[in-house]
Structures are given as C-alpha cells and as structure tokens.
A and B are shown apart, each in its own frame.
Chain A
Amino acid sequence: MLYQLQHYWWLVVTLLGAFLVFLMFVQGGQSLIFGIVKNDTEKSLVINALGHKWELTFTTLVTFGGAMFASFPLYYSTSFGGAYWLWMAILFLFVIQAVSFEYRKKAGNILGAKTYETFLFLNGSLGTILLGVAVGTFFSGGSFTMDKMSITSLESPVISQWTNGWHGLDAIVVPFNLLMGIVVYLAARTLGLLYVIKQIEMETLVQKAKTQIKVTGTAFVITFVALLIHLFTMTGYSVSPETGIINPVKYKYFFNMTELVWPSIMLICGVLLVLYGLSTTYFSKGKHSFFLTGGGVILAVWSILICAAFNNTAFFVSTINIQQSLTLYNSSSSEFTLKVMAYASLFIPFVLAYVAYVWKSLTKTKMSESELNQPDSHKY
C-alpha cells in the first residue's frame, strides 16, 4: 500500500507542477513588459488581463510547496535547506510579484508604477528561469549529504547538509538546469503571448504578439527538443525498492519512458498538441491555441516529471554520495499520512471544477480599454 501511495503522491505533486508551468503564462505575460508591451494603455491592458489570474498561479505554487512538504518532507528539508540561495532568490522574485498588481497604479505607492512593473518583469523572466533551474535538479541532483541518524549527534544534529558554500547557486551553472530554466521561461512566454492574443481587445498589440509568438514559440520548441535529447542521453540513478541501494544507469530517463510506455504516450501527445496549437496561431486565427498549447505543455511536463522518480529512479541525487540520494521510498511521509492526504486529494476535482467555472465566467469578454475606463471597476 505504501508503495502505491508514494507513487500516487508523486503523480499528484507533479501534476500540480505541470499545472504550475501552464499557469505561469501569467509570468510569461509579465516578461513582455518593456518588450512588445510598451505604452501605458498596453501595459494596463496586459497587467489587468493577467491580474485576474495571477493568484491562481501563486496559489498553485504555494500548494505545490505544501504538497511536497506533506508527501516528501525529506525533499523539502534537503533541497530548501541545502539549495538555500536558489530558493531564497525564487522566493524574493515571487514576493515582489504578489504586491505589484495591486499597488502599481495606486496613489501613494512610494516606489512608482515603473518599479512595480520592473518587479513584474523580473518575476516573469528571472523567476521562471530560476524555478526551471530548481526543477532541473530533479534530474541533475545536488551536492548534499543526508543522514537521518544525524539527529542523534547532539552537537550537530543537522540531517541534510549542502557540501559547498554556494548553497544552490551552483545549480544555476549546471548546463542541464540552465537549459531547463530557459525552456520553462520560453514555455511561460509562449503561453503568455497566446493569452494576450486570446484575451486582449487591441488590434495593434495582438498583431505585435502574433509576430513575436513566431520567434518565441519556435525557440521554445527547439530548446525543448534539445532538453529532451539531453535528458534521454543522461545517466540516471536506479534504486532497488527492496534494499534501497542506488546504482547509475545510462540513458535511465529514456528507459523510463520506453519501459513505462504511458509517459511516452503522454509526452508524444503533449508535443503534438503544442505543435498543433502553435501552428493554428502561426497559420490561422488560433482561437483555441492557448488551451491547446497549454494542454500540451501540461502533458509534456507531467510525463517528464513522472519519469524523474517512477520506475525506481532516484529523484534528487546526491552527487557527493549517491547512496544518500532521495527516492520515493526514503523521502516520503508515512503510509498513514499519505493515506489521509489521499482522501483530502479527492477534493481536487471539485477545486478544478470551480476554478474552471470562475475562469469561464470572468473571461467571457475580452479585456478592453472600455472595461478599464469603467469608473466603478477594480483595476490594477
């Protein structure tokens, strides 16, 4: 039972992660500020259109963190406490986002609209890249040691230790992580552009977005393919569920895809959906492009994250001592806790349903200048 629950929770947590990447279209949209989004009207339109959604993304990030904490607490303690600076940087970049929508246009905001716009831009660009870098460590690992019995050493009871002083900044220069960061950024930006095209009523801006999407979308696809090649030729680490002993396996992630089959089907469907979604924008009106591409991104990201841990794979490798790497088996919560939360997770479809309902009722009409000019409305 524990075995199934550990896998179930990895599915749930990675699904949240996949949804998070999709919902980061908000960040992608923010990265357009100072780019194609220039004058004040354009900024207001884009920021207000994104402003109706930013909290959903933020909540997904917070819930992703909470679910990770609850289901795989050893990952939470090892990665957060070890890759300290990486997570702190991500944290700062998201904290500055949370206030910027509400405060940007308010009288008395002290810092001025431009500063809050810069906050949004930084969150949308650097924030997504660093989050991608953190995701990359699921495959590339980190330089930590982990020994649960350290708690019995009264002088230094710390269980997980990062072994170099960079505390996570070292993860940024790992090529795979950086590539992952760029892919996540480009995915977010692509989806951000598609959201602008779908949701904003301003012909000049939409035209600019349509020109821009051809560059960004294509760059996203190319870097994504490069990431897959890198991933499938990497050495991964396999764990024996009985003994817990960990061994390197060449092309581990490729084998995970082929041995499990269904993630590879998900990945192929995801890629096809992305390509189809983008092509509808490239060559025609692309009315459904946002959801098609977004759905594809969810499927592709989910399948890749599943392969990080399924098929007996260590999902956070210690590059110092591979036997201390984290796996689904040594890092999860107890069977009881996972079961309790599994009951709680049955509520998720209900959450998805009301989120979808609210999404629909708020996006019935496009964001237009006239909506912004209504004297009575709450504006960002």
Chain B
Amino acid sequence: MLLASLLGLSRLQFALTAMFHWLFVPLTIGLGFIIAIMETYYVRTGNEFWKRTTKFWMKIFAINFAIGVATGIILEFQFGTNWSNYSWFVGDIFGAPLAIEGIFAFFLESTFFAIMFFGWEKVSKKAHLLSTWLVAIGTILSALWILVANAWMQFPTGMEFNPDTARNEMTDFWAVALSPVAINKFIHTVTNCFVIAAVVVIGISSWYLFKKREDEFSRKSIRIASVFGMVSLVILIWSGDGSAVHVAKKQPMKLAAMEGLYQSTEGTPIVAFAILNPKKKISDMEVDSLAYSLQKPFLVNISIPQGLSLLVDRKMNSFVPGIEDIINGGYKYTDQYGNQQIALPVKERMRRGKLAVNALAAYQMAKEAGDEQSKEYALRTLRENYRHFGYGFIEKPSDIVPNVPLTFYAFHIMVILGGFFLLLFGLAIFLDRKGMLTRFKWFHLMAIISIPLVYICTQAGWIVAEVGRQPWTIQDLLTTNASLSGVSSSAVLTTTIMFFVLFSVLLAAELTIMFKVIKKGPAAQ
C-alpha cells in the first residue's frame, strides 16, 4: 500500500502542507492588489469611506497572511527533512530561486507589512500607500520565484549533469528564470490568485447585501472586484490554454491523464464531460494488459472531435499520444528543438536510464582507479543516455502513469468552475451597471457559494499540476522514490499526524476569526 510507505507518507505530508498553504496564500496575493487599489482611491479622493473599506479588507488580509507565513516555512524545511536526496541532486538550481525569493521578496513583504498595519499614524499618506503597493509587489515576487523553481521541476532546463559531484548544475540562469513554462505558470497562478480574491470580496460583500447591510461598502467592493476579477480571469483562461500546449510538449503523460486518454488516433478529441470506467487499468502483465486494453476508458463520454489536437497543436489532424501509446512508444513527435522523433517505448527508456546510472558508477570507479580510457567511455555513455536517467529508478512501465481519475476529474472540475466564474463576474458587472446589485437574492447566494467553489477550483489546479506529473520530482531525471531522505516511515507518519492536527486547529481558528470579523463588518472598523 502506497500510503504506508515512506514515499507515500512523504508525499502525503508534502501535499497536505502545500494544499493547506495554498488555502491562504492566494487570497493574500490577490487581496494585496485589491487593497492597494482601494487605498489609492482613498489617497486620491481623501474620502474616509475608502479608508474604512481598505482597513476592513486589510484585516482579512492579515488573518490569512499569518497562517501563510507559518505554512510556508514548513515547505522550505521539508525539502531538506523529507527530500534530502532531491536537495543535493538539484539543489544547485532549485536553491537559488528560494534564496533570491528570500532576499528580494520576503523582506519587502514583511518589512512593509509593518507599515501597512502599524504605520497609519506614523508615516505620510503617500508613504503608506507606497508601502501597501510594495507589499502587494512583494507577494507577487515571491510567487514568481517559487514558481520558477516549480516550473524547473516540470521542465528542467539551463543545466548540465556533473558526474564528479553527482548532481545537476546550473549553466544558464536566464533559461531557468525565463523558461516559457515558468512564465506561463507565473501568469496562470497569479491571475488565479486575483480571481480567488475577487470571488472572496464579491462573496463576502454579497452576504452583506443578502443581509441588507453595508450597502455602499458592498456595492463599491463588488464594483472593483468584479472588473479586477474579470480581467484576471480572461488572462487566466488564456494562460491555461498556453499551459496545455506546454504540458503536451513537455509532459505528454500528464496531458493523457488529464484527458483520460489511453489509445489515441490522429485528430484526437477533447473530453467535454465524461465518467471514467473504473475497470480501465494499465497492467505490466501481458495477459491482463490485453484484457484491460479492451476495456473502454469511459462509461459516459461527450467529446468534441479533434478538439485536443486543435488545442495543443493548433492542427485538426495531429496525433496526441495516450497513456498506452506513451508506454509502447513508436509514434512520431516533434521534440523541443523542432526535430521529428520516434517515441521510445518506456521499457527502452528504463534500459537506457539504468545504463546512465551504471555509467555514473563506472565513471566514479574509473576515476578512482585512474583509468582514463574507461572514464572517458563511461562519461560518453552517461551523456548519451542522461535524458533517461530517472527511468533507471522506474521498476515497471506502469509506474510512470500518474493517478488517472484524480488528475482527470481535478482537471475537468477546474475547467468547469473556471467557466462558472466567468458567469459570476459577468453578472456582477452587468448588475452593477444596471444598479441592481442589491435586488436579486439568487445572485447573492450564487456569489456566497462561489467562495468554497473557488477554493475547490484552485486546489484542483494544484492536483492537476502535481499529481499529474508523478512519479517525477524532476521530469524524466529524478523520481519521487529516489528523492527521499533516509528517515523511517514511522517518523514521517508521526510528523504528518502532528501537522494534520495543527493544521486542523489553525484552520478552525482562522475560519472562526474570519467569520467574526465579517459579521462585525466594516462599520466596526
């Protein structure tokens, strides 16, 4: 059972911490900007109403900020405590963005946070406004660097393997920092944060309108949030499309899992709505394999013909490989340098991966023995096969398939909810224009329900990105299994339980504090 193993528990702990962290951070990133916009109104107009409004949303910001900080440090530590092999194998590249994040972003946030909250009476209005903007910019910068680090795991670039230190080393900083995957991920994630904050602002304000209170505050908050949210959502959807193109090129297995695509054809359709067939599996035994491959992937399926080909290749009849295609290889694809290639079967990649790993060992032995010729030969073998290095740690072909139902449903839930928020923002803008925001109870209810939905949406996005890329910590180069620390599974189980209890209590406290603050309302500021 995966969950009882060190790998399963270490993954569970990381997922628990990351998803918990991601309940609080996106709201602060998005809300930081909404607050800054509101305070700009205040400084420009001098209207005390805007100051009160700013201060209310700041309160919500602070409650979330504290818990985001608390969970962020756990993630940082976990790379060392639970994934120590990973930390050495790629620390040369992965560590740098984290350090830069600290120097450039965290100090900016935490320093000006103090002015934002305690400086109202101590600095000038303009200095205060500048501080609020700097905090917002700081949150964006920290998102940038952590996403650069994450994008590099999904699309390793700008580095070379050094056989003497047995790790990957950076050769091109800008290739890492400005990798197309990093930029896309940054845009997608940050606009996602903006959308979350916009939905939360609209939702809370609608609750007031539902209760027939805080009329002006709520209408004006919705006015800012709906436009802010709509603009962000359009960019979010556009970057989501870009993200699919990247995934198709760099992580074809993830895309196949997102679509529940097993055996593909030219002109691959895209799933609009479907229920997966739970009997459909991938087996390494040839006998079972045949039986499984006869199973249909879906029980119910509504697809758009050629949709996936069009989406990821911009061509009607291109071939988007499915899970079984990727395992068996043999199809044609264009690699990142634009060359036509024939995909290797996973078994062959596993063989070449083991060749690379063994060549590294042989290199080291030859080096110690002073045998230049063998050293040279081993190095050549290593270089030729390095892009399969991680496959050396794969035991059987089916191990390279992520959890399909989780990835598939998460992806579709995310997309459907994205469409729903388009409707929400559109309605909010329309009703505001017509001066009818206070009128329809059903709109208020829809906006209130949107708050939990937007969190489900963003967590689903995390699942697509992170579960969908299993079993890799570094795509094709390092498996989660080879990334672990030398600790016992009982130790990780103990700390996971401790974190779970702590997180549950903190979440309960956070929510009740929020509810009380909201209930009291901005008038009490």
Contacts and interface: CB of A to CB of B under 8 A. Distances in A.
B487 A81 contact: yes
A320 to B, nearest CB: 13
B486 interface: yes
A80 B81 contact: yes
A63 B505 contact: no
Given A63-B102, A81-B87, A341-B96, A354 B69 contact: no
Nearest to B481: A157
A238 interface: no
Contact of B87 (A77, A110, A167, A341): A77
A91 B510 CA distance: 20
B286 interface: no
Interface in A132-161: 148-149, 151-152, 154, 157-161
Contacts of B73: 58, 61-62, 65, 91, 94-95, 98
B508 A358 contact: no
B81 A66 contact: no
B171 A152 contact: no
B173 A80 contact: no
Contacts of B99: 63, 66-67, 69-71, 341, 344
Interface in A195-254: none
B521 interface: no
B115 A151 contact: no
A359 B256 CA distance: 53
A101 B114 CA distance: 13
B148 to A, nearest CB: 13
Contacts of B119: 361-362
Nearest to B171: A336
A52 B76 CA distance: 24
Contacts of A341: 96, 99-100
B498 interface: yes
Interface string B52-71: 00010011001101110111
B273 interface: no
Interface in A150-176: 151-152, 154, 157-162, 165, 167
A69 B170 CA distance: 14
Nearest to B356: A152
Nearest to B177: A340
B4 interface: no
B167 interface: yes
Contacts of A101: 66
How big is the A interface, by class? 35 or more
Contacts of B72: 62
Contact of A344 (B103, B484, B510): B103
A53 B162 CA distance: 43
Contacts of B41: none
A9 to B, nearest CB: 10
Given A102-B63, A355-B107, A355-B111, A76 B95 contact: yes
Contact of A336 (B70, B106, B169, B505): B169
B14 interface: no
B88 A69 contact: no
A77 to B, nearest CB: 4
Pairs of residues from A and B, 5 with the lowest C-beta to C-beta distance, nearest first: A80-B80, A73-B91, A81-B84, A63-B102, A70-B95
Interface of A: 52-53, 55-56, 58-59, 61-63, 65-67, 69-71, 73-74, 76-82, 84-85, 87-88, 91-92, 94-96, 98-99, 101-103, 106-111, 148-149, 151-152, 154, 157-162, 165, 167, 333-334, 336-337, 340-341, 344-345, 347-348, 351, 354-355, 358, 361-362, 364-365, 374, 376-378
25 contacts: A59-B102, A66-B101, A67-B102, A70-B96, A71-B99, A77-B85, A81-B485, A82-B485, A88-B77, A99-B509, A106-B517, A108-B513, A148-B166, A149-B166, A151-B85, A158-B485, A160-B84, A333-B91, A334-B162, A337-B93, A340-B173, A347-B103, A351-B107, A355-B107, A378-B118
